[in-house]
Structure 1
Amino acid sequence: MRKKSEERRQAIIDIAAEMFNDVGFERASMSEISARLGGSKATLYNYFSSKEEIFVEVMRQQAGQKFEVTFTSLVESDDLRGALQRFGALYLHAVLSPEVIAAKRLAFYHAERSNLGQMLYERGPKLGWMMVAEFLKKAMARKQLRQADAWVAALQLRGLLDAEWLEIRMLGVVTNVTPTKIRDTVERAIDVFMLAYATEKH
């Protein structure tokens, strides 16, 4: 029974993903999703409380795998700079991807009119950057980095990585950032981060 329930839930997500792509988030409705699914709206609400919640799950599946690889790439290492550079490259490849850019644009657009932005943040980026903060906290304990607020340090690292490309990618000024440019961006970002946080011997 549980397997059938999981299959039904996945079917809802798949159908909703098609609809969001076809007509956009605003024009999609719970009624239309249930009609395409071939069931009642009540059945749909047994799985999801709102269209926003379905959208969050669609985005988690479309973009979540990239971020899962990114954030789990951070493992304790004597080569802290190398670990941060690998992470930074994975992060920028993910955050600049079409799927993630589309999700961010929708989240910003609907942020004040629904809880979509908050849901996307709480179930995605916040969890990932909490992992980064924990990684940095351990580096501080090993005296690779100076003692500081690890959460703030994680957010500052994110700001350095985002600084060169995210805004102009969001606005469509650029549509593609080459791996070489990403590598150079990451190197500059980690240089600044290490100047701010590394202990003298690192």
Structure 2
Amino acid sequence: MAEPAGTLDCPGEAYSLSGRRAAGEDPAKREQIIEGAKRVFMSVGFDAASMNDITREAGVSKGTIYVYFQNKEDLFSAMIEKERALFLAAVRTVLAAHEDVETGLYKFGVSFVTHMTDEKVITAMRTVLGVRDRMPDLCKRFFKGPENLRTVIQEFLAHQVDIGSLKIDDLDLAAGQFLDLSSGGFFKLRLFGTMETPPPPEEIDRVIGGAVRVFMAAYGVRQTTDD
């Protein structure tokens, strides 16, 4: 019995009867558009960027770009969410690789500060702040990131409590405290232009090392040995 016209029933994908993905369902094409948009946004900023610019940079037609994204706000959010997902995945990998609580906290802190003070991240945050009054929903979507990052470190802290390395009554509070300790003022200095370049590795090491010591003094479980 012949299949009816339309798309095939294939979980997770939409294909036409020709075997090609239905419009708007090709992940490679979507990625191509997001990467093109990223280059434009990072080059000229959000306000100056046009869908024509993005179309040319991504190497697609205007009709194609609107199949995947409603407007440049939608594109900008997709770009941010992709970068956030990549960063969170990398941070989870770092934490999973270190069972020792102090090493895990240190590696997390270094990754966090290095990422948050990177020029691309600072540029993106300045861009969002610049359109906050006109596009409050875009700001809300952008700044949900730190809560996700808090969740990642909170999961690590919960595991360390379970194995007896830490004693914490309020995991959410402790996670926020470590993020604040780790930032060391770097983020605000970079965001407002007081610090024109990312902090050097030795300064990050100094601040994160101090953050770990303070955090462990508050929440660490002292190990004792029997004579």
**TM-score interval, smaller chain:** 0.7 to 0.9
Give the drift of 1:11.
2.6
CA root-mean-square deviation: 2.7
Q: How far has the Cα of 1:91 moved from its partner?
A: 1.5
Aligned counterpart in structure 1 of residue 148 of structure 2, from 101, 124, 127: 127
- Structure 1 residues 101 and 63: alpha-carbon distance in aligned structure 2, compared to 1, 3 A threshold: farther
**Percent identity (aligned):** 27
Counterpart CA distance in 2 for 1:112 and 1:71 is 34
How many residue pairs get matched?
199
Matched residue type, 2:148: L
- Which structure has more relative contact order (CA 8 Å, sep 6+)? It is 1
Which contiguous aligned blocks of 4+ residues in structure 1 show a shift greater than 6 angstroms?
none
Structure 2: distance between partners of 1:66 and 1:131: 11
1:168 has 2:165 as partner: no
1:54 aligned partner: 75
2:101 aligns with 80
Instruction: Tell me if structure 2 keeps the 8 A contact 1:76–1:135.
Output: no
Mapped partners of 1:117, 1:157: distance in 2: 24
Greater mean alpha carbon deviation, residues 22-31 or residues 101-110: 22-31
Q: Quote the residue 1:109 is aligned against.
A: 130
Q: Identify unmatched segments of 5+ residues in structure 1.
A: none
Is the helix fraction higher in 1 or 2? 1
Aligned equivalents of 1:5 and 1:185: distance in 2?
44
1:201–1:102 distance in 2 versus 1, CA, 3 Å:
same
1:147 aligned residue? 168
Deviations 1:142-168 (A, max 9, x none): 222113221221111111111331111
> TM-score normalised to the size of structure 1?
0.83
The alignment's TM-score, normalised by the length of structure 2, stands at: 0.75
Q: Is the 1:62–1:99 contact (alpha carbons within 8 Å) kept by the matching residues of 2? A: no
Q: Confirm whether residue 193 of structure 1 aligns to residue 212 of structure 2.
A: no
- Residue 33 of structure 1, CA deviation: 3.6
Q: Cα deviation per residue 1:88-124 (whole Å; 9 max; x = unaligned)?
A: 11211111111111122222333343222222233x4
Alignment pair present for 1:2 and 2:21: yes
Q: Which moved more, 1:99-108 or 1:75-84?
A: 75-84
Distance 1:79 1:18, change over 3 A: closer
What runs of 5+ residues in structure 2 fail to find an aligned partner? 1-19
Of residues 22, 32, 38, the one that matches 2:61 is 38
- Does residue 1:180 correspond to 2:202, yes or no? yes
| Closer/same/farther in 2, CA of residues 64 and 153 from structure 1, 3 Å limit | same
Q: What amino acid sits opposite 1:190 in the alignment?
A: V
